[in-house]
Chains A and B, each alone.
Chain A
Amino acid sequence: MLSYALRRIVIVLITLLAASVIVFAVLEIVPGDPARLMLGMNATEDTVIALRQQMGLDQPVLVRYLAWIGGMLTGDFGRSYTYSVPVIELVRERLVVSLPLALMALVLSTVIAIPVGIFSAARRGTAADAGVMAATQLGIAIPNFWFAILLVYVFAVMLRLVPAGGFPGWQAGFWPALVSLLLPAIALALPQAAILARVTRSALLDVLGEDYIRTARAKGLPANLVLRRHALRNALIPVLTILGLQFAFLLAGTIIIENVFYLPGLGRLVFQAITQRDLIVVESVVLLLVATVVIVNFLVDLAYAWADPRLRRR
């Protein structure tokens, strides 16, 4: 188990290093001068040069890369070009929205998908199963932003039950903040739940066809105990993989949902930073997200070992 974990950690570190080099290199090639973008068309050339010097953009590439990496290792992620505040602060402000949203959406999608998947697998071939398959097909096909706009019009504009968007901040009270994240979480969760339900169902069906399941039933074990004790744990591995991928997506790939609900989330931060050529923010946040994905995958790998004892002995 320990050597398994250690090997995984080394891979994590190498991935992070490679990602940092690629991210930095790509942003160097991208055209656009952040200083000119910030000062606009009418500013004179010497003003632009003065700003470039202030932002440290006139230094050679290698120096800037090493300064950035060195800063990150000591916890200093640099200062944003546009906002002039430490990147860490910006990320923290956005994480306060994106992390609860991602967790809510993940919990909602799991709570919906796994029972639905089990229900469908247990009643394979019946009309109920066909109904669930059709529903999940619809869920996967519907674009989540269209669904989000629909939710806004029904619940916010027509029924006035919730605000149409925006995030009042956790200091405005736990409930108002949670309520404002509810619609976005539902809009995000439903398509993910549809995918997860299908994966659960097919994983379970695979497992239910195994010999040991037949043995357990032949021994007289009731169907639901067979499901819980034997089938589910073995079906968990593909489900865990998908969950890991979904979490990473939910953290930063939700920029469209954030736009529809004008939430100050991580996806919007990166998108705005790219259009404003705020290179420091883009580099640091992208690397943070790479780190998150890598670490989540690492945890999923460890979870495999928990779910499957055979892996622990390797």
Chain B
Amino acid sequence: MTTSFKTILAGAALALALTTSAFAARTDLTLGVALEPPHLDPTAGAAAAIDEIVYANIFEGLTRIGSNGAVQPALAESWSLSDDGLTYTFKLHDGIKFHDGTGLDAGDVVFTLDRARADDSTNAQKGLFSAIESVEAVDDLTVRVTLSRPQGSFLYNMGWGDAVIVAPESADTNKENPVGTGPFKFDNWAKGSSATIVRNPDYWGEPVALDTATFRFIADPAAATAALLAGDVQAFPNFPAPEAVPQFEADPRFAVVIGSTEGETILATNNGKEPFDKLEVRQAIAHALDRQAIIDGAMFGLGTPIGSHFAPHHPAYVELVETYPYNPEESKRLLAEAGYPDGFKATLKLPPPSYARRGGEIVAAQLREVGIDLEIIPVEWAQWLDQVFKAKDYDLTIVSHTEPNDIGIYARDDYYFDYHSPAFKAVMAELDITADEDQRYALLRKAQEIIANDAVNGFLFQLAKNGIWDANVEGLWANSPVQANDLTEVRWKD
């Protein structure tokens, strides 16, 4: 073969390879995610990025949180609760195998739960297991969990990513080589670049439609836009560049689905520090906030205003945005009443995300209108955790709390809001022991009202989930009630 013929052949092969990759995407999907997880064991770290790859795909728990935020059975086929509300008996499905071939039995459940609540456990959500007194295997497929006190949220807690069931044979190496029971198996993790999962042919439940799924880690908004447009990724469940969304809405090749997340973005206020310990001052701040302006300016119009610390997509949500409506005059009046007719000076510490940095400038401008002069101090996450979260050395800060159903943090005495309300704690205590759904919803509504009326923090907006994917892909979640990318229902339309 002559050199030129070889070159032509190589060039043709290259061109063919580049084009055929576009047609081969019928049972494989490449998704873009903004953050790379530090490792792949959801029971050993808090990073949401871990669950975004493994939850419901590689690992499963006794229960599972579905796309509407409701508890569904997973590894447990059914369960029963004793009359005193203290003992759960779970019946597991038969024939479940881990990806390394070992079978799942009640012993693995006992191992997982005991490991999570051990003294030296590094589980980031140890509180989920705090009510468990003992776990025992009644027989191979039945587990009895005894609580020390009734806990209404127990079934929901067992659906968290931190409560997935692991095997003693593989638990120590799950960070690098995750072994679970899910419909997908771990295939490869090219650090810094991508992680790939493949279909598990021995899955105990409904088979999934996809053969392979690759998660590519693309943090830069411009790179994310380019990757979607060039077809390198076919789906971006949470697209990091809201400013580029209109471009995709106008493009018929893409479907844009804006949903909501569990991220309550708040103007966190140090309730223990002057002048924020006065209710009038906090009410004044609430009256000075124009939420829509913040959403439009910081999030390009994508986000839902909130009036309390609760997700709007939840059935128990109460509309409380108008508790202290936007009214700068009322704000100035309240400040004068509280003893600050000329306003006061304070600091606003802002962590790196754009909802904080951009939103912070708008909030500062709005508060300046009523006389509150804010000095903006940008900080890194590590500094934020040290200064604001641990040492409570702050006046105001903007942060988004993305853990699901975390309104209970307002009952914690040592939390960085420094908010102490006996009424709220009473509601939370009762919620803890209530299992009946309607009663729980009523208590949750009351909880939202208490913290809204107390204006504990400035409740800004719920983070939107900007989902952009190829118009031929279906089954990706619109909302994000848990931080996960559940691929079990995803398929390409034919």
Measured CB to CB, the residues of A under 8 A from B are 30-33, 36-44, 46-47, 50-51, 54, 82-85, 90, 93-94, 149, 152-153, 156-157, 160-161, 163-167, 169, 175-176, 179, 259-265, 268-269, 272, 275-277
Contact = CB atoms under 8 A, between A and B. Distances in A.
B39 A167 contact: no
Contacts of B119: 46, 50
B94 interface: no
Contact of A93 (B123, B192, B222, B382): B192
B176 A85 contact: yes
Nearest to A43: B124
Interface stretch (B225-233, B272-280, B423-431, B452-460): B225-233
B230 A157 contact: yes
Interface in B31-55: 36, 38-39, 45-47
- 9 closest residue pairs by CB, A with B: A32-B382, A264-B192, A40-B46, A82-B38, A164-B230, A264-B193, A164-B226, A259-B220, A43-B124
Contacts of B18: 160-161
Given A38-B46, A82-B39, A261 B223 contact: yes
Contacts of A40: 45-47, 124
Contacts of B193: 166-167, 169, 262-264
Residue among A30, A43, A176, A261 with max Cβ neighbours from chain B (10 Å): A43
Interface of B: 10, 14, 17-18, 36, 38-39, 45-47, 119-127, 175-176, 190-194, 216-220, 222-223, 226-227, 229-232, 380-383, 385-387, 389-390, 401, 403, 406, 409
A33 B220 contact: no
In this complex, which of B38, B127, B232 has the most chain A Cβ atoms within 10 angstroms of its Cβ? B38
B45 A38 contact: yes
A272 to B, nearest CB: 7
B390 A36 contact: yes
A36 B124 CA distance: 10
B124 A259 contact: no
Nearest to B22: A160
A230 B452 CA distance: 82
Contacts of A54: 122
Given A39-B45, A40-B47, A268-B192, A166 B216 contact: yes
A165 B126 contact: no
A287 to B, nearest CB: 20
A257 to B, nearest CB: 11
A260 B220 contact: yes
A162 B119 CA distance: 52
B124 A32 contact: no
B452 to A, nearest CB: 22
A51 B44 CA distance: 10
Contacts of A277: 382
A36 B381 CA distance: 11
A32 B380 contact: yes
A225 B167 CA distance: 75
A51 B122 contact: yes
A175 B38 contact: no
Q: Which of A42, A47, A152 has the most CB of B within 10 A?
A: A42
A262 B220 contact: yes
B216 A262 contact: yes
Given A47-B121, A54-B122, A272-B192, 18 more contacts: A32-B380, A38-B45, A39-B46, A39-B122, A40-B46, A41-B385, A46-B119, A47-B124, A47-B126, A149-B222, A156-B230, A160-B230, A165-B223, A165-B232, A259-B219, A259-B220, A264-B192, A264-B193
Contacts of B380: 32, 275
Which of A33, A37, A179, A276 has the largest number of chain B CB atoms within 10 A? A37
Contacts of B127: 42, 44
Contacts of B387: 31
Contacts, number: 150
A32 B381 CA distance: 8
Contacts of B121: 47, 50
Contacts of B401: 41
Contact of B223 (A32, A38, A262): A262
A207 to B, nearest CB: 39
Contacts of B386: 31-33, 36
A43 B383 contact: no
Contact of A175 (B10, B45, B217, B231): B10
B172 to A, nearest CB: 10
A1 B417 CA distance: 68
A46 B119 CA distance: 8
A260 B39 contact: no
Contact of A90 (B126, B175, B191): B191
A93 B386 CA distance: 32
Nearest to B414: A45
A47 B120 CA distance: 7
15 contacts: A30-B382, A38-B46, A39-B45, A44-B127, A149-B226, A152-B223, A164-B227, A165-B232, A175-B10, A262-B193, A262-B219, A264-B191, A264-B192, A264-B193, A272-B36
Residue among B47, B123, B193 with the most chain A CB within 10 A?
B193
Contacts of B17: 176
Contact of A43 (B46, B120, B191, B230): B46
B193 to A, nearest CB: 4
A84 B176 contact: yes
Nearest to B220: A259
Nearest to B32: A262
Given A41-B385, A41-B389, A166 B194 contact: yes
B215 to A, nearest CB: 12
Contacts of B390: 36
Nearest to A258: B192
A2 to B, nearest CB: 43
A165 B191 CA distance: 15
Contact of A42 (B10, B220, B223, B403): B403
Contacts of A265: 192
Contacts of A166: 193-194, 216, 218, 227, 232
Contact of A260 (B190, B222, B389): B222
B192 A156 contact: no
A157 B232 CA distance: 10
A261 B216 CA distance: 12
Nearest to A155: B230
Contacts of B232: 156, 163-166
B74 to A, nearest CB: 22
Given A93-B192, A176-B17, A260-B223, A43 B125 contact: yes
Contact of B46 (A42, A94, A165): A42
A88 to B, nearest CB: 13
